[in-house]
Structure 1
Amino acid sequence: MKYLCLLFFIAGSNALYAAGIDRNLLTIGNSYQLNADTDTIVRKKSLSVGVSYGSDALFFGRTGPIKYPFVTGDAIYNTKSGVFIYGSVLKVLGYAPVDEVDVGGGYFYKFSKSFSGAVSYTRFIFNKNANVIKSASSNDINFKNAYDWKLFKTTIILDYLFGKSNDFFTTVSTSKYFETSWSIFDDKDYLSFNPSFNVIVGTQNFVQRYEVDHNYQYVLPPAVLENLNLSAARRNRIFNVLNYSFKVPVAYNRPHYTLEASWRYSMPVNVEGSLENRRESFFNFTFYYLFY
């Protein structure tokens, strides 16, 4: 967006399109979000606050055994120097009052008009009864770099997650941002679009950790439990393609706020453990307001 600051909730994480600040909602000009899919960077002191709804929690291309629709409240404070801090509160609908709280910070850098990036650290704090698959991890170190080729933008995100399980992820995204040259209600609003194709490569030790933490109660029938071979979990350590996805966000923008709706089609591959992930559509709705 013309007036937006850095909104960096990775993108990702991508770390989670559903728990805490969405890394794709906190991004560098790209989703988890606060809209990371439809902005450009303005280096100035600012505060962004937002709320979002998601149809299911998606964590690096994997979902839990049942759907977990959620709502989040997010805030990010940016300084002129490029340092930023952020926080997020997550509630899975129908469960605990608060399932997760995320806090973190980082630094945004820009090498040229076309090449920018950010490094950040996030701490995930879960309710002890949290059921989202992300709950197997409690820390994330994230590096994100984006290069704008004009015809399209390439973004590469590196994540190291550690806690009860350790995992590495690389997310590669190709996107094309464009906005309308005409207004909707007056000369201060416009629509923006940023369709993208994304590939996630990484390990998936978090899947086995999630199963152990929940005593396999959600994912394995009794007949399978009797003959369970835990050595199969070794395959989770392999660095492999985890997911392909398409995302189409559409946003209505004004100088200080944005309303965005997005659709993502997720295609999990190389699914290990016992989670029966399948192709699925995800819907997200986000509103955020910018103070500066």
Structure 2
Amino acid sequence: MSTGYAFAQNETVSKDSVTISEDSVKEKTTLTLATLYGSNVDYYGQISEQRLPYLALNATVRTRPGIYFSATGFHLFSDSLFVSATSLGVGYEFKITPKFTGDLSFNHTFFPSGSPFLQAGRPNQAGLDLAYQHLFKTELGGDLSFGTDLDYFTTLTNSKAFNFSVSKNKAILSFTPELAVIAGTQQFYQEYLIREEKNNKGKGKGSTGILPVEILTTVNYKQFGLLSYNLKLPLAYNRASYLVEAAVKFALLGNNAVNKGDLNTFFTLGFYYQF
């Protein structure tokens, strides 16, 4: 089974996808329901000043031609709102050669006023990913994130799946280490800092003290450069119609990130069921 389920960067940040097998997608239209716990919101390896553990619920319908539709709801445990954000997406997966595939997608996320998400000023995201399967799986992705302004990102990923038959060959245990390098602009971060200052002043808290004022005015947020180096270590248990995955991810912020040199750590636990 292939969930084809992916959290776009506009909800966690990195594009996390779980793939079990591609054959069933070709045979019929599928519905995948998923729930995911995350220890913190991940946006291209970067995080907000406030830790944001979350729970996400997703439904994805995939058709035989490769077109898919998805809907995701997010709840931040620190948020008084039951639904902290919702995202709707559409995409198209296509095969160029047996080993070379592509994925074109668009997502729109609805953020409430005063949202603590880093990317709250970027509700729209369009992406194109190309993947080549050889000794490793190599993926090159490009994203445009836009709303009040525009940011763009590129991600180069290499991963390798190690599969082991368990439960008398009725299940597969998969370990798929993944290395990714992410580059991009970060006008979203400048907007986040300004938004947090306004939110706190509106609540009578004064300045947040997130960063010195000089950072807001001297950092070139439009500059394209390295944002993060990422290592993800996911372990998945896969049966015929469902998958359970736990993953830890380490993100070392690059020279183009405001908090360059910081090491961010994320943990996710997900359950996926396909009909």
TM-score computed with the length of structure 1 as normaliser: 0.84
CA separation of 1:277/1:212 partners in 2, compared to 1, >3 Å: closer, same or farther? farther
**Corresponding letter in the other structure for 2:39:** S
Alignment RMSD, CA only?
2.3
Q: In the alignment, is the contact (CA less than 8 A) between 1:102 and 1:123 conserved in 2?
A: yes
2:232 match:
247
Write the distance in 1 (CA, Å) between the matches of 2:244 and 2:116.
29
Equivalent residue in structure 2 for 1:114, among 75, 88, 99: 99
Deviations 1:220-269 (A, max 9, x none): 539944xx464424x11111000001001000010000000001011012
2:124 match:
139
Write the distance in 1 (CA, Å) between the matches of 2:211 and 2:263.
26
Q: Percent identity?
A: 27
Alpha-carbon offset, residue 16 of structure 1? 4.1
> Structure 1: where are the runs of 5+ without partners?
25-30
Equivalent residue in structure 1 for 2:70, among 66, 82, 86: 86
Q: In the alignment, is the contact (CA less than 8 A) between 1:164 and 1:209 conserved in 2?
A: no
1:178 match:
162
CA separation of 1:272/1:46 partners in 2, compared to 1, >3 Å: closer, same or farther? closer
Q: In the alignment, is the contact (CA less than 8 A) between 2:60 and 2:69 conserved in 1?
A: yes
Q: In the alignment, is the contact (CA less than 8 A) between 1:99 and 1:127 conserved in 2?
A: yes
Write the distance in 2 (CA, Å) between the matches of 1:248 and 1:100.
27
> Structure 2: where are the runs of 5+ without partners?
201-205
Q: Which residues of 2 match residues 46-195 of structure 1 at below 5 A? A: 46-95=30-79, 96-149=81-134, 151-180=135-164, 182-184=165-167, 186-195=168-177
Alpha-carbon offset, residue 187 of structure 1? 3.0
Q: In the alignment, is the contact (CA less than 8 A) between 1:271 and 1:277 conserved in 2?
A: no
In terms of fraction of residues, the more strand-rich structure is 2
CA separation of 1:178/1:208 partners in 2, compared to 1, >3 Å: closer, same or farther? same
Write the distance in 2 (CA, Å) between the matches of 1:222 and 1:264.
24
Q: Which residues of 2 match residues 13-24 of structure 1 at below 5 A? A: 13=9, 15-17=10-12, 23-24=15-16
Runs of 4+ in 1 over 3 A off after TM superposition: 38-41, 216-220, 222-225, 228-231
Alpha-carbon offset, residue 214 of structure 1? 1.5
